Structure 1
Amino acid sequence: MDFLLLEWIGKPVWMWLGFLTIVFALLAFDLGVLHKEDKEMGISESLWLSAFYIGFAILYGGAIWWAYEAGLITTADDTHAGITYFTGFFIEKALSIDNVFVISLIFTFFAIPRKYQYRALVWGIVAVIVLRGLMIGIGAALVQEYSWVLYIFGAFLIATGIKMLVVPESDPDMSKNPVVRFFKKHMRVTDELHDQKFFVRKPDPTTGRLVVWATPLFLALVVINIADLIFAVDSVPAIFAITTDTFIVYTANIMAILGLRALYFALAAMVHRFHYLKYALALVLVFIGGKIFWNQIFGKVDPAISLGVTLAMIAGGIFYSLWKTRDDPQEKEKVA
């Protein structure tokens, strides 16, 4: 069992295995117990399940904080593990709200009923665990080998934030999505759903032999995960700008995404009310990107200040959005 004490990407193997065990246990309980039967998730259940995931993520962050204060763990860059975990968690959580709108468009395009959507989202987390791990691993290797890469991350975050402030939003056209077109061209895809199945065996129209066909639910799953990778291009550099400790970056990312899938059904119904959050997130990206340059020129910014500013901006964007849209006709129709 000595291998458990070996270091892998800056932390003992047992820490990585422990975290992944927790994540897969949560997924197994969610998918195998809470949602063993495919059913439509209501807003109330969505909020309760999301509260559970957020509460668990906060408890986990509290454990990280305690372990750091007790001297049981250290970070690769001498930052406060607890503070940087929570900063990364809240940034990823807020940035993921934009992802909800895209996921909603994908499900609508493929005509996926709500009762099958949650299963697709949970299975998508398994792919996210691997794909985010690869992205973060590559990012960590680049930062460790070439420290100046952080300046590129900082400049990219500032440019992305400014772009979000000045470029108007537009709805993506899923019918022109290159991923959708590629899979439909190179795979057998059924025109209709087959319950919760991603693949089915059907006769080939030419030969009559039974062959494997992908279903629209599988295509939706693939496109959702490609979209997540695109969103990760913003969120991963944002967390690396806070800390270069790979374990903190990865765990904060995954904990934020776990709860997002549960929160999707509540947010999808009211995502239009978070319009102004986009501008708060843009300011957060500019702030985090600018902090990299500030740290090198004037010295490190206190992590507690970074967490406070980040939370203030995100909370301000959420509350201002809800206040500005309080007279939204769509909300009045729901009440009526």
Structure 2
Amino acid sequence: MRALLPLLSVGRGWRVGAAARPPRRVMSLYRTEERGRPPSENYRLFFKNVAGHYISPFHDIPLKVDSKQENGIPRKKARNDDEFKNLFNMVVEIPRWTNAKMEIATEEPLNPIKQDVKNGQLRYVPNIFPHKGYIWNYGALPQTWEDPYQKDKTTNCCGDNDPIDVCEIGSKVLPRGDVVHVKILGILALIDQDATDWKIIAINVNDPEADKFHDIDDVKKFKPGYLEATVDWLKCYKIPDGKPENKFAFNGEFKNKAFALEVVNKAHDCWKTMIMKRCDHGAISCMNVQMCDSPFHCTPEEARSLVESVATPSMSKESNVEEERWHFLN
């Protein structure tokens, strides 16, 4: 599933990619630890920061990339300050071309990545010809929340109770658990069960072609057909399960970077309200290690005790028939 980049084993050093990276890339500030057997219901992927403390990828990884430092580590300066105004952290949940529906477990303490389960079965997205699994690196923007109690004025629907989803369109397959810096290019509004499920279109800032992309029109220019394939994939991926086509706001039109940034900023404000316990957060776990003013703050020792209570690590993997099955739609 992740053949293009090496896996990070439990207890080993920081993740380093096999391919050469641009010089502005620095050592990763986060690493991951697998517990449980993949694929299984008890599999969890936990996150650690540079100090080796367990953290929540939902709450403890900052939304925006600091142009000078992050978590106390100085960073190499990009070629211009304007680049940092549109530079965000993305947590990779699902590598491109894979099928397992992995997601940040919003209702579990420290919010590890797990595989979604429905009706007692692990969930996989179907291969719908000609697409194999997910057609982008799929993940989420940390410290964002689509409030299910707040109606969006542009879509007339409330949020879907999750962090904002990201479709990363770069040329590399990114490993599950990577935290990468992305440039936001645009956004699509999927309407899922009467809730707004925003899909950010972004590109890894370290992608070899990243300098070509600044707004949604650049995707149309340099990756013709990709946006149309994105709409088609999102519209049809539930059909093999017997469900109808998904719907979109704005007739499936992609909005530009400026619109996307407004959506992200609003979702960040909703998250800040939630993490400070100023609104109803439902079943979402807001446990965090680094937001010291939050009522949900815990100590690194409490976080470690929680993780150590989870199943022991295992790197074994079993194949699944759903990853090999193909569907052809009329």
Give the alignment's TM-score, normalised by structure 2. Answer: 0.27
Relative contact order, higher structure (CA 8 A, sep 6+): 1
Q: Which has the higher helix share?
A: 1
